[in-house]
Amino acid sequence: MNQDAILKSLIADNLVSDPSGARGRLLREAAGLFRDKGYERTTVRDLAAAVGIQSGSLFHHFRTKEEILKAVMVETIRLNTALMQSAVDAAESNADKLRALIRAELESINGQTGEAMAVLVFEWRSLSESSQEEVLKLRDIYEALWLEVLEALRTEDVLAADPFVVRRMLTGALSWTVTWFRPDGGLSLDDLTSQVMGMMGMKQFL
């Protein structure tokens, strides 16, 4: 299933907002503002101005500014989990599955959901405890995809290190690419994915 089909399916199931709709446009603009200005410094007026509506109109979609922040995080995790699951399902070997996960996460960080992914990392503490619990449940599903593949590679004696530690290291390394990777810099996301696989000792991917 391609990305458009996955997105349409999630929209049909009311799991994510239609990017072309009012709610979807609001979440996209909110992600950019929260990343650039920070959640606390972004006002309801800022959010309304970004989508060209009156401040009060925001509350037709969300009751509070925090609900907007939570929706940015929740919908981002749902979308990226679905994309990653599809990529894993299409891969045959566990090494191919790992490559698919790395490629998908690099795309999410440096592509269409990059701003929202940054918000997920840097504005986590701005959520209430109950909202954090909700996001964590979704995050656990996302992380389980990685740990299952990494554990399978360790069972095959391809991976020597602890899967949990490997995943934590990969999380930091892949997230940091947003600070230096440029698609027009001569290195594509596929190239970068191959380099990451090579770093893990999988020369066949270089």
User: Domain residue spans in the chain?
Assistant: 3-205
Return the closest-CA partner of residue 141 out of 178, 177, 95, 88.
88
Q: Residues 6 or more apart from 17 whose CB is under 8 A from it?
A: 11, 23, 24, 27, 71, 75
pLDDT tens digits, one per residue of 192-203:
999 999 988 776
pLDDT tens digits, one per residue of 23-54:
899 999 999 999 999 999 999 889 988 888 77
pLDDT tens digits, one per residue of 125-181:
999 999 999 999 999 999 999 999 999 999 999 998 999 999 999 999 999 998 999
The mean predicted confidence, pLDDT, of the chain is 91
| CATH code of domain 3-205 | 1.10.357.10
CB-CB contact of 173 with 78 (8 Å) = no
Mean pLDDT, residues 76-97 taken together: 95
Q: Which two tokens stand for residue 155?
A: 């069972």
Half-sphere CA count of 68, side-chain side, radius 13 A = 29
